[in-house]
C-alpha cells in the first residue's frame, strides 16, 4: 500500500479535510454540558442555512439510511398509502423502508438513469386522493441523476400529501430550497458533501410534517422526532449524541460558511461540468439523463470494456478510488464522486489517471482529450 | 475555560486516549474495500473475546439506545409478553422501548439502588409460561448497581425465554460471560469502558436469538439483524458504517488487548474499590446496594448538602466533571464514573478535588481521610 493517501472519488464517504480530521481528534467532553449545547445549536443554525429552511434540523447518530427510516416512522401509520418515486437503488430503498413498516406503497419506477417526471407524480396524486406521502430522492447516487425538486414540490403542494426527500448525496452540493419548494422532511448525511465521516444524519421537519408526527402511530423510540424536538431548543438530543462527529460537523460547517453556501454549491457545478466534458471528449457515454446530470456523482457506461477491471487499475496503480455499479448496474457502469472538498486539482488528477487506466486496460481513447476538455470547462466558468 | 483538558469522571462518554483520538483523525477510506473489511473483521474478533462469546457481534452506527431498540425489534412481535427488570432509569428505558413497540410488558421494578433478585425473575417466569423475553440491565448507570447476570442467566435458562441484556455501561469493565451465562442478546456502547466517543453499539446475538429473529414480525430496516448478518462474514455492514469510529475502535481494542481482557476488568475493580473506600472514609453514604456496587460508576448520596452545587465547584474550580442524579434522583445524588482509561492518578485526583469541593461548599469532612483510604485500597490490591 502506498504511503500516499488514497484519493477518494466515490459518492461517499468523501475526503475529510485535515481541519475536520483534527476536530475528530479533540478530547471528549460531557454531552450534557453548556459547551456541548452551544456547539450543537451553532451547528443546527448553519445546517438551516444550508437546507434553506426555518424548520428545525434534527441531528441523529446514524448513517443516512437511519435518517430515511426516521422520516418514515415519524410521519406514517400502518396502511398509509405512499407514492415511492424510484429512479434507482436509493429510491428503491426508500420505498422498501416504507413497505417494511406497513405502508401501502405505490411505486413510480423509472428506468435507471432517468429522472422523475413531476407530471407523473401530479397524475398519481390526482388519481388517488388517499396518498399520504410522496417519497423522493433528490440526487440518485446509484445513477448520477438529480431530480427537479422544485417542480416535484410544486406538484405535491397541489395535494394534501407530505413530501419526504432523501437528499443525502445532494444536500449542500446542489441547491436545495427546502422551504420554498415545500419539502416536508429532508434527510442529509454527513459523509457526502459535508466532508465528514459517516455517522450523522440531518433531518429537517416542516410544520405539516410535525402535524403528521402527531397522527403517526408507527412505533418509534430512537428515531422519535418528538423526543428529539423536546430537547432541540436547548441544544440537546434525546439520546447520547456522537460527540466527536459533532466536533467535526462544527468545523466542516465553518469551512462551508467560509466558502459561502452559494459558492460551495457553484463549485460543485463547475467540477461536475468538467468531469462530464472530459467523459464526452473521451467518447465514453454518460449514464443517465444529461438534462438531469448530478453535480455530485457522474455515472459512466462501461461499453466495450470491464469498468470494474478499469477501477482496479485506478485503485492499485494510481491509488484513486472510483465506485462501480450497484445491483443490476454492477459491471455495467463506473461512478466518479465529486463532492465535498474536491478542487480542480482532484478533478484533473482523476481525469488524468482515468485516461491512463483506460489506456492500460486497452480502451482506445484520444489520449489527452479528456484532460483538455476538463481544463477548458474549468476555464469557461472561473 | 482552562487550557487544561477537563477530567471526565462521568459514566460516559469517558476519556478517549490520545492513540484513539489519533485514529479518529485518520484519512477517510471507502467502506466497500478490502481494507475496511479486514479492519471490521479484526474488530469483531476482539469484541467476541471481550463479550466472551462465539456468537456474532454486530456493529451499528448509533448510540447505545439504538442497540437496545435493535435488540427489541429483532426478537419480538407485537403482543409478545416480556418481563422488564427495572432497577433504574436505563432498565425503565428498556421496558419503555418494548412497550413502544407493542410488547405486553410486565415490569419487575425495584427501588432505585437495589439490584435485581434472580429469584423474583424465576418466580415470574414460573408463573407465566408465555413470557418471551426478559429485559435486563447488566450495570445500571443511574444508580451504580451491577446485576448478577450469571444468576439471572441461570434463572432464565430454566424457561423458554430469551434474555436481552443492556450491558452498555458494564461491558469490558466488568466480566461478562455472554455464552456461559446464557445471555441471548447483549448490547454494549462505544462511549463507556471502550474509551471511544459515542456513536457505535455492539450487539451479540445467540443461536436462540437468531431463531427468534426468524419469528419476529416487528418492522425493522436499519436495525435488521439479518441484513447485518448477511454481510458480517465479509466484514461489511448493511448500511454505511461509521468508518472513523471503526478506526478508533480498532485502536481501542488493541489497547484493551495489550492490557489483557482480564486485567482490564480487574483494574476497574481496583479503581472502584478505591473510590468506595474514599467515600466511606469521608462518611458520605454510598447510594445503592453495597453487595452489588458497580465497578464502573459510584453513586453517592448528597445527604445534608446540594450535590449539584458541589459538582459545579468540581467543574468550575477543579475542571473535574462528575454526574448528577437522573429524574427522581436529581439533586439527591452525585455519580462518579470510573471506567475506560482511568488509572490510579485519576482516582486520586478525583478524590482530592472532591475533598476540596466538599470543603468549599461547607460539608464537614475529615480532610485527607478520603485520599488516605483510596491510597490504602489501591495498595491492598496492587
Strand partners, A188: A202
| pTM, rounded to two decimals | 0.95
> Are residues B11 and B141 in contact, defined by beta-carbon separation less than 8 angstroms?
yes
Residue B320, H or E segment:
strand B320-321
**What confidence tens digit (pLDDT) does each residue in A84-128 have?**
999 999 999 999 999 999 999 999 999 999 999 999 999 999 999
Cell of B96: 419503555
Question: Which class is B18-258 in CATH?
Answer: alpha beta
Q: What is the pLDDT of residue A247?
A: 98
Overall average pLDDT of the A50-76 stretch: 98
The pair phi, psi for residue A4, each rounded to 5°, is -80, 150
**A-chain residue closest to B97, CA distance:** A221
* pLDDT grade for A2, boundaries at 50, 70 and 90: low
A298 SS3 class: strand
Q: Specify the higher pLDDT residue, B371 or A4.
A: B371
Distance CA B336, CA B65 (A): 21
Distance CA A210, CA B60 (A): 28
Quick one: which of B172, B212, B177 has its CA closest to B192? Answer: B172
Residues 6+ apart with CB under 8 A from A297: A11, A139, A141, A144, A169, A335, A336, A337, A338, A339
Selected for mutation to probe chain B from A39, A63, A70, A217 (highest B CB count within 10 Å) is A63
**B-chain residue closest to A25, CA distance:** B21
**A-chain residue closest to B238, CA distance:** A65
Selected for mutation to probe chain B from A221, A297, A320 (highest B CB count within 10 Å) is A221
Q: What is the pLDDT of residue B3?
A: 79
The pair phi, psi for residue B146, each rounded to 5°, is -110, 130
Q: Is A13 close to B21, i.e. CB distance below 8 A?
A: no
| Residues of chain B neighbouring A5 (CB-CB closer than 8 A) | 27
Of A16, A30, A219, which is closest to B100 when you measure between CB atoms? Answer: A219
Q: How many CB atoms lie within 10 A of CB A230?
A: 12
Of A25, A26, A199, which is closest to B61 when you measure between CB atoms? Answer: A199
Q: What is the pLDDT of residue A227?
A: 98
Query: How far away is chain A from the Cα of B232, in angstroms, using its nearest Cα?
Result: 17
Residue carrying the nine cell digits 429512479:
A87
Location of each CATH 3.40.640.10 domain in chain A: 18-258
Overall average pLDDT of the A281-299 stretch: 97
Distance CA B89, CA B86 (A): 8
Of A21, A29, A243, which is closest to B6 when you measure between CB atoms? Answer: A29
**What confidence tens digit (pLDDT) does each residue in A132-171 have?**
999 999 999 999 999 999 999 999 999 999 999 999 999 9
**B-chain residue closest to A247, CA distance:** B197
A245 cis-preceded (ω within 30 degrees of 0): no
Of B13, B35, B69, which is closest to A243 when you measure between CB atoms? Answer: B13
B18 SS3 class: helix
Query: How far away is chain B from the Cα of A9, in angstroms, using its nearest Cα?
Result: 9
Asked whether the predicted pLDDT for residue A382 surpasses 90, the reply is: no
**B-chain residue closest to A95, CA distance:** B221
| Residues of chain B neighbouring A243 (CB-CB closer than 8 A) | 13, 191, 197-199
Cell of B123: 418466580
Look up the CATH number of domain B7-13+260-380: 3.90.1150.10
Location of each CATH 3.90.1150.10 domain in chain A: 7-13+260-380
CA B284 from centroid of its chain's CA atoms: 25
**A-chain residue closest to B23, CA distance:** A25
Give me the sign of the Cα torsion angle A337, A341, A345, A346: negative
Kindly give the confidence (pLDDT) of every residue in chain B, 382 residues in length, as a single tens digit, with 9 standing for 90 and above: 467 889 999 999 999 999 999 999 999 999 999 999 999 999 999 999 999 999 999 999 999 999 999 999 999 999 999 999 999 999 999 999 999 999 999 999 999 999 999 999 999 999 999 999 999 999 999 999 999 999 999 999 999 999 999 999 999 999 999 999 999 999 999 999 999 999 999 999 999 999 999 999 999 999 999 999 999 999 999 999 999 999 999 999 999 999 999 999 999 999 999 999 999 999 999 999 999 999 999 999 999 999 999 999 999 999 999 999 999 999 999 999 999 999 999 999 999 999 999 999 999 999 999 999 999 999 998 7
| Residues of chain A neighbouring B61 (CB-CB closer than 8 A) | 61-63, 66, 198-199
Cell of A206: 416542516
Asked whether the predicted pLDDT for residue A332 surpasses 60, the reply is: yes
Query: How far away is chain A from the Cα of B370, in angstroms, using its nearest Cα?
Result: 25
Give first-to-last CA distance, chain A, whole Å. Answer: 36
Burial B263-302 (b: 16+ CB within 10 A, else e): ebbebbebbbbbbbbbbbbbebebbbbeebbbbbbbbbbb
Of B13, B62, B245, which is closest to A66 when you measure between CB atoms? Answer: B62
Percent of chain A with pLDDT over 90: 98
For strands B104-109 and B57-61, give the pairing: unpaired
Q: How many CB atoms lie within 10 A of CB A119?
A: 10
| Residues of chain A neighbouring B189 (CB-CB closer than 8 A) | 240
- Strands across the sheet containing B57-61: B57-61, B200-205, B185-189, B162-166, B131-137, B81-86, B104-109
Q: What is the CA radius of gyration of chain B?
A: 21
| Residues of chain A neighbouring B22 (CB-CB closer than 8 A) | 25
Asked whether the predicted pLDDT for residue A61 surpasses 80, the reply is: yes
Of B15, B97, B242, which is closest to A197 when you measure between CB atoms? Answer: B242
Distance CA A131, CA A126 (A): 9
Residues 6+ apart with CB under 8 A from B376: B277
Overall average pLDDT of the A178-196 stretch: 98
| Residues of chain A neighbouring B29 (CB-CB closer than 8 A) | 6, 8, 13
Of B13, B97, B243, which is closest to A221 when you measure between CB atoms? Answer: B97
> Are residues B43 and B253 in contact, defined by beta-carbon separation less than 8 angstroms?
yes
Q: Is A21 close to B16, i.e. CB distance below 8 A?
A: no
Residues 6+ apart with CB under 8 A from B132: B75, B76, B80, B81, B82, B161, B162, B212
Q: How far is CA B223 from CA A69, B59, B84, B246, in A?
A: 10, 10, 21, 18
Q: CA geometry: angle at A157 spanning A155 and A162, to 5°? A: 105
Q: What is the pLDDT of residue B379?
A: 94
Q: How many CB atoms lie within 10 A of CB B261?
A: 16
Q: Is B63 close to A5, i.e. CB distance below 8 A?
A: no
- Could you report the predicted ipTM of this complex, rounded to two decimals? 0.93
Amino acid at each position: 500500500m502506498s504511503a500516499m493517501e488514497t484519493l477518494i472519488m466515490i459518492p461517499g464517504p468523501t475526503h475529510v479535510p485535515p481541519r475536520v480530521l483534527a476536530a475528530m481528534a479533540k478530547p471528549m467532553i460531557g454531552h450534557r454540558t453548556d459547551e456541548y449545547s452551544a456547539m450543537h445549536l451553532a451547528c443546527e443554525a448553519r445546517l438551516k442555512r444550508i437546507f434553506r429552511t426555518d424548520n428545525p434540523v434534527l441531528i441523529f447518530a446514524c448513517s443516512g439510511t437511519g435518517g430515511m427510516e426516521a422520516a418514515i416512522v415519524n410521519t406514517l401509520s400502518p396502511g398509509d398509502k405512499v407514492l415511492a418515486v424510484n429512479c434507482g437503488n436509493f429510491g428503491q430503498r426508500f420505498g422498501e423502508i416504507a413497505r417494511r413498516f406497513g405502508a401501502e406503497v405505490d411505486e413510480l419506477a423509472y428506468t435507471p438513469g432517468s429522472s422523475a417526471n413531476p407530471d407523473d407524480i401530479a397524475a398519481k396524486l390526482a388519481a388517488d386522493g388517499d396518498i399520504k406521502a410522496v417519497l423522493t430522492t433528490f440526487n440518485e447516487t446509484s445513477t448520477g441523476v438529480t431530480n427537479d425538486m422544485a417542480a416535484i414540490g410544486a406538484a405535491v403542494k397541489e395535494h394534501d400529501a407530505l413530501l419526504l426527500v432523501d437528499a443525502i448525496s445532494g444536500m449542500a452540493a446542489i441547491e436545495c430550497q427546502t422551504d420554498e419548494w415545500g419539502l416536508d422532511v429532508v434527510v442529509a448525511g454527513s459523509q457526502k458533501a459535508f466532508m465528514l465521516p459517516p455517522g450523522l444524519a440531518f433531518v429537517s421537519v416542516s410544520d405539516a410534517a410535525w402535524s403528521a408526527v402527531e397522527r403517526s402511530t408507527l412505533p418509534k423510540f430512537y428515531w422519535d422526532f418528538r423526543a428529539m424536538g423536546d430537547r432541540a431548543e436547548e441544544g440537546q438530543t434525546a439520546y447520547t449524541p456522537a460527540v466527536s462527529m459533532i466536533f467535526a460537523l462544527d468545523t466542516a460547517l465553518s469551512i462551508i460558511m467560509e466558502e459561502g453556501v452559494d459558492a460551495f454549491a457553484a463549485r460543485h457545478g463547475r467540477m461536475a461540468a468538467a468531469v462530464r466534458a472530459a467523459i464526452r471528449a473521451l467518447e465514453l457515454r454518460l449514464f443517465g439523463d444529461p438534462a438531469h446530470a448530478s453535480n455530485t456523482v457522474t455515472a459512466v457506461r462501461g461499453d466495450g470494456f470491464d469498468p470494474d477491471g478499469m477501477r482496479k487499475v485506478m485503485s492499485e496503480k494510481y491509488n484513486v478510488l472510483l465506485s462501480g455499479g450497484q445491483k443490476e448496474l454492477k459491471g455495467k457502469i463506473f461512478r466518479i464522486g465529486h463532492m465535498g472538498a474536491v478542487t480542480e486539482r482532484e478533478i484533473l488528477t482523476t481525469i488524468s489517471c482515468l485516461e491512463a487506466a483506460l489506456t492500460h486496460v486497452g480502451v482506445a481513447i484520444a489520449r489527452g482529450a479528456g484532460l483538455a476538455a476538463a481544463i477548458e470547462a474549468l476555464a469557461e466558468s472561473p
